[in-house]
Amino acid sequence: MRIVIIGGVAGGMSAAARLRRLSEETEIIVLDKGPYVSFANCGLPYYLSGEIANREDLIVQSSKQLQKRFKIDVRTETTVTEINPDNHQITAVHHGLSQIMRYDKLILSPGSVADKPNIPGMESADYVYALRSIPDVDKIMAQLSQAPTRVAIIGAGSIGIEVAENLIKRGLSVMLIDAGSQVLPFMDPEMAALISHELSEHSVTLKLNTQIDKIDRHQLTLNDGSQIKADLVISAVGVRPNTALAQAAGIKTGELGGIIVDKHYQTSQPDVYAVGNAILVKQLLTGQLVSIPLASPANRQGREVAGVIMGLPRENRGGIGTAIVRAFDVAAATGLNVAQLKRAGISYQAVHTTGQNHAAFYPGGKPLSMKLLFEPQTGKLLGAQAVGKKSVDKQIDILSVAIKSGMTVFDLPEFELSYAPPFGSAKDPVNMIGYAASNLVEGLSDNLQFDQLEGAIKDGAYLIDVRTPGELKRDGKLPGSTNIPLDDLRDHLAEIPKDRLIIVSCRSGQRSYLAERILKNNGFKVKNLDGAFLVYSAAYPERIEH
């Protein structure tokens, strides 16, 4: 049997290696249009700063190594120009020479391509680059060797932010420009705001809600009329499935051109399979077909499709989307965010917690902010996000497993997680956010989101801030609030109006929950400002009174 694989990174090479482990007789041919296969494209930003010092470390396996170890025929700099499913043939071009090649099974793993913003002057500018491959990073490094000082990055998603962090570490002046209202679209706005603050603290100039009208002679004209100088421009506005070849072959595609596959990765054409960033997968929480262009699912899919072809009982179960990015702090998310839940028409409730990555009494602890989304009635887990310097990956990975396993908020306190003071807390942050969410589902607590506070106060709610006067002086005051420190609250019950909704807040939400219970047990109608001052001030820093 001859199996031809189009695309040699992630899904394609995972499929090839697994196929060889399952069969010594099968002929395996991998075709890739680039000069390298099996390279670490996720590591490219870190090569820019020198954090990854050696270019060779980006190349996981060379063509020669793959041939020697796995007996895989790897053909680089080979572009497939046509797929003929009726005849089980493809047409491939290598250095101008065209060849028709037969296949018994064909695996498509073409990945994604970088979106190109339609900006006048961009195509002709020789200092504008994308970052998708080793040749791309070679070109950028060549420009960096010319000692530029000012860099503009278009797009504040994961790639743009990783590039910004690494160029700041290199000592350059960096401006990050995005047409959207926030960085990291996979995060909710108040969580993304924590990363925006961290970027600003490290001298990244953020220009959100901003478009570029023109690029000309190392000068960018913005839609507000201002002009900025840039010695180097890197475009990182996002990616889309690379499926033009598949569409030309009559293979069915869906949203944004992604290839539609069944549970065995079979496309609409016989003996043609597809994996990786180019395909659509079932979002397990909504049942919708979506694109999840991430390395981990692509590698898993490559391994699974090899099993399918070799007769093993493997299925494409779908995914929930789990992502992480370092931007001086670390941001990670899994499952659905609020925008996705609203689009899917799914009822949800949110809870925020802020703590530390390990026991508070042990030195060196770092703040850890978390958000959990769940069904209000059942507590079924729907999504989670976290921002901090340490332990973010651990918490989100735990919650990813819980979400994909169909668990509820009541399962989280039951998790038995490793504890010693240098590594965690006796009540792990996952346990704690489970407790907080369980209180909401069981009606022991009612919360109010940061973006609902202003409307509630206009409707007559009475806002009590239970922080100490010293905290208010140091950090600022919530607009329209009355300060009654938690330890004094019982002494001031007579001053609090019983005919109005009471909203309580503190710094993170923990003390205000205690205040909520005190007031409710004394007959007041109360809601806790979810995430309290830390979440509100991150979302609306301009509204804090000093």
Return the active site residues. 42
CA distances from 301 to 154, 275, 418 (A): 31, 6, 31
CA distances from 152 to 225, 265, 327 (A): 17, 40, 16
The strand pair at 227-229 and 219-222 is best described as: antiparallel
DSSP 214-269: EEETTEEEETTS-EEE-SEEEE---EEE--HHHHHTT--B-GGGPBP--TT-B-SS
Name which of 27, 34, 44, 26 is nearest 8 in CA terms.
Answer: 34
Helix (H) or strand (E) holding 472: helix 469-475
H helices of 32-124, in order, are 44-49, 63-70
Q: The tokens of 181 are what?
A: 């209202």
Cα 449 from Cα 367, distance rounded (Å): 21
Cα 249 from Cα 245, distance rounded (Å): 6
* Interacting residues of 127 by C-beta distance below 8 A, sequence separation 6+: 143, 218, 230, 231, 232, 233
CA distances from 59 to 6, 133, 451 (A): 19, 11, 46
Contact of 398 with 407, CB cutoff 8 Å? no
Amino acid 109 reads S
